[in-house]
Amino acid sequence: MASYLARRTGYMLIILLISSVVIFYALRSAPGGPSGGGVLSPLSSQEVRQAYEKRLGLDQPVYTQYFIYMGHLLKGDLGTSLVNGTPIVELLTTHARNSLVLGLTALLISYLIAIPLGVLAAVKRNTWVDQLAMGGAILGMGIPNFWLALILVYFFSLRLGWLPSAGCCDPPQLLMPALVLAAEGTAVTMRMTRSSMLEHLRDDFVRALRAKGLPEWQVIIRHVLRNALIPVISLTGLRLGWLVGYALIVETIFRWPGVGYLLVDSVLRRDYPVAQFFSLLLIFFVLMANWFADIGYGLANPRIRVA
């Protein structure tokens, strides 16, 4: 397991390095550049433009810029926004916290729904409970999250006036974006929990456990679910990745001031330092999530942990 971990970690660092180079070059090769995209007036004279670029170091070769940037990054200097001069450190603390709150709430809601329902559907297989849960799941997979967001806003904000349609950061404002973000992976997780439970309910050890006289709930929860969760854990890494992606859309819809909203905004405004830093941050987060899911998978599975 140790060598596996070392390999995973090295692999992660390499991807991070490649991503940083690709993102750095890509953003600079965009047509228009920072001076074209809303930062400077299109009417600015050539001299103003050049002075501006020189001040930001944009006149140097891209690889030089890259090394300067990485040097600053490693020293903890994250730079400032081109649009309004806010230090990125400041953006990081507020927006990252907001995103974490949203993401963790969504994940919690999702698993609290998906796992019990998946277990119930498997245990009550082919009954109306199962059919209802699975019908709901397949419907859930078909509803795009942004449309779900619109419908929720329509009912709960516009019609009933119970919840604010956007904003941050009170619990009522959190509820709808968290629900929408949770909806994304819930159906898949539920289906996976169910099929994994069904697979393990057929295992020989289930009969052997019953032959020991264990209560049925103990057989189902302690043993079958424990085994069935192993693939669900490894799905979590993937789900965190999707969550990051969908957070871009959900945060934008609900004007939730998180990293996703910031990233979409900065990309559209060509705010390089912001877009660059936060996309790297999200990639880092996705990689870390997969890394943790891999470790979790190994820890949950003694056949890998104790080889």
Partner 1 sequence: MTDLTVLDEKATWEASVERLWAVRPSRWRDAWYELSRNKLALGGSVIVVFFTLVAIFGPALAPYDYAKQVLSDDLLPPLSGGHLLGTDELGRDLLSRLLLGIRISMAVGLGTTFIALVIGTVAGMLAGYYRGWVDRVLNGFVELVWGFPLILIAVLLIGVIGPGLVGVVVAVGFVNWAGFARIVRGEVFALREKEFVVAARALGKSDLNIMVRHLLPNVVGSALVMGSYYIAIAIIAEAGLSFIGMGAQPPLPSLGQMINEGSGYMLLNHWLSTIPGMVIVLLVLGLNVLGDGLRDVLDPRLKGTG
Partner 2 sequence: MSRSEVALEVKGLRTTLFLREGSVDVVRGVSFQVKDGETLALVGESGCGKSLTALSVIRLLPDPPARVTAGQVLLAGADIRAMPEQEMRSLRGDTISMVFQEPLTSLDPVFTIGDQIVEAITAHRKLSRRDARDMAVDILKEVQIPSPEQRLADYPHQLSGGMRQRVMIAMALVLDPKVLIADEPTTALDVTIQAQILDLIRSEQERRRLAVLLITHNLAVVSQVADRVAVMYAGEIVEEAAASEIFANPTHPYTQGLLSSIPSAAGDRKHLYTIPGRVPDPRALPPACLFAPRCPYALGRCWKQHPELEAANGHSLRCWNPQPFTALRSIEPGEVDRSIATSE
Residues that bind partner 2 (CB under 8 A): 203-205, 207-215, 218, 223, 226-227, 230, 300-303, 306
* Angle at the Cα of 289 from the Cα atoms of 287 and 291, rounded to 5 degrees: 70
* Residue 200: burial class (beta carbons within 10 Å; 0-12, 13-18, 19+): buried
29 sits near partner 1 (criterion: CB under 8 A) = yes
CB of 279 to partner 1, least distance (A): 6
Among 2, 3, 31, 85, binds partner 1 (CB under 8 A): 31
245 sits near partner 1 (criterion: CB under 8 A) = yes
169 cis-preceded (ω within 30 degrees of 0): yes
198 sits near partner 1 (criterion: CB under 8 A) = yes
Among 73, 92, 166, 264, binds partner 1 (CB under 8 A): 264
Indicate the residue among 47 and 204 with the shorter CB distance to partner 2: 204
In this structure, the dihedral spanned by the alpha carbons of residues 209, 196, 180 and 110, taken in order and rounded to 10 degrees, is 20
CB of 99 to partner 1, least distance (A): 13
Q: Which does 204 bind (CB under 5 to 8 A by kind): partner 1, partner 2, none?
A: partner 2
In this structure, the dihedral spanned by the alpha carbons of residues 166, 172, 174 and 176, taken in order and rounded to 10 degrees, is -70
Contact mark string toward partner 1, 137..156, x via CB under 8 A = -xx-xxxxxxx--xx-xx--
78 sits near partner 1 (criterion: CB under 8 A) = no
- Restricted to residues 112-131, the positions that interact with partner 1 (CB under 8 A) are 126
- Chain positions contacting partner 1, by CB under 8 A: 15, 23, 26-27, 29-31, 126, 138-139, 141-147, 150-151, 153-154, 158, 188, 191-192, 194-196, 198-199, 237-238, 241-246, 248-249, 252-253, 263-264, 267-268, 270, 275, 279, 282-283, 286, 290
